[in-house]
């Protein structure tokens, strides 16, 4: 179990320790609390020691995003007993709940190249499902990016207005809170005011699933007869 045959003292930390500490800071305090010094203090080391493990803070953040993507369960995606559409919906819900459990993660994801191992694994599984659904290679790749942007973009918006450090609220209380905070002058924005109840529910799981299904409806005609 020895390190590679390179000289020097053994590392006192594992990368996973650093990532775990980073996620911990992310949960309590949001993205603003995820500082080099904070992580260093959490793992009990001088701030600059982290630069032995990650060349820059951006590299650390990229590793954190991949770590979070790795926490999403991929089993449902590959389950061949369920229809492709159910699998995609299930996975999309898993991604959403995982990211909502870590508010502050969404802005990180949107600034990441998503080329880490977990991201690639998830993308590969996604392509597999879309292939089984009957899409050709090019359409499957385009569709996977479409799904990706939808999921991450939506979650980013949903999480943006969450106060960091507070526990994530359930749909109902969030919707009523949004509803109470929304005041739109009806004479200037009549349609907006008329749809205010739907708007208050924008951050709900219902809206998320509605959009996802419209998107899957749009993908359906691309399937070639099996």
Partner DNA sequence: TTCCGACCTGTACAGTGTCCAGAATTTGGT
Partner DNA sequence: ACCAAATTCTGGACACTGTACAGGTCGGAA
Q: Which residues bind DNA (CB under 7 A)?
A: 2-3, 5-13, 34-38, 45-49, 51-53, 56-58
Distance CA 108, CA 34 (A): 11
Q: Site mask, its own copies, residues 67-106, x = CB under 8 A?
A: ---------------------------------------x
DSSP class of 203: T
What, of its own copies, DNA, none, does residue 11 touch, CB below 5 to 8 Å by kind?
DNA
Distance CA 94, CA 108 (A): 18
Query: Where does this chain touch its own copies (CB under 8 A) — which range of 35-43, 59-67, 81-89, 117-125?
Result: 117-125
Q: Which of 13, 41, 110, 177 binds its own copies (CB under 8 A)?
A: 110
Shortest distance, position 6 Cβ to its own copies, whole Å: 24
Distance CA 21, CA 40 (A): 9
Residue 12 or 97: which CB sits closer to DNA?
A: 12
Query: Where does this chain touch its own copies (CB under 8 A) — which range of 19-27, 74-82, 92-100, 132-140?
Result: 132-140
CB 22 within 8 A of CB 64: yes
Residue 29 Ramachandran class (φ > 0 left, ψ -120 to 50 alpha, else beta):
left
Contacts of 105-108 with C-beta under 8 Å, sequence gap 24+, read: 105/26, 105/31, 105/64, 105/65, 105/68, 105/159, 106/152, 106/155, 106/156, 106/158, 106/159, 106/160, 107/31, 107/156, 107/159, 107/160, 108/26, 108/31, 108/61, 108/64, 108/65
Shortest distance, position 17 Cβ to its own copies, whole Å: 26
Residue 35 or 98: which CB sits closer to DNA?
A: 35
Interface with its own copies (CB under 8 A): 106-107, 110-113, 120-121, 123-124, 127-128, 131, 137-138, 140-143, 145-146, 149-150, 152-154, 156-157, 160-161, 184, 188-192, 194-195, 198-199, 202, 207, 210-211, 213-219, 221-222
């Amino acid at each position: 179990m020895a390190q590679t045959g390179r000289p020097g003292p053994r590392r006192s930390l594992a990368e996973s320790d650093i990532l775990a500490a980073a996620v911990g800071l992310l949960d309590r305090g949001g993205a603003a609390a995820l500082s080099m010094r904070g992580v260093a203090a959490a793992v009990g080391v001088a701030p600059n020691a982290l630069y032995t493990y990650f060349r820059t803070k951006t590299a650390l953040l990229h590793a954190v995003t991949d770590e979070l993507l790795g926490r999403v369960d991929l089993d449902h995606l590959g389950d061949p007993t369920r229809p492709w559409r159910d699998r995609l919906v299930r996975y999309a819900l898993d991604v959403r709940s995982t990211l909502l459990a870590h508010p502050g993660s969404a802005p990180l994801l949107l600034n990441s190249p998503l080329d880490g191992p977990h991201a690639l694994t998830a993308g590969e599984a996604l392509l597999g499902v879309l292939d089984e659904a009957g899409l050709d290679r090019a359409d499957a790749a385009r569709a996977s990016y479409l799904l990706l942007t939808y999921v991450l973009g939506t979650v980013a918006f949903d999480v943006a207005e969450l106060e960091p450090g507070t526990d994530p609220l359930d749909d109902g209380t969030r919707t009523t809170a949004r509803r109470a905070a929304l005041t739109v002058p009806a004479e200037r924005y009549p349609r907006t005011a008329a749809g205010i109840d739907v708007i208050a529910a924008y951050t709900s799981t219902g809206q998320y699933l509605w959009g996802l299904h419209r998107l899957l409806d749009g993908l359906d005609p691309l399937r070639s007869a099996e």
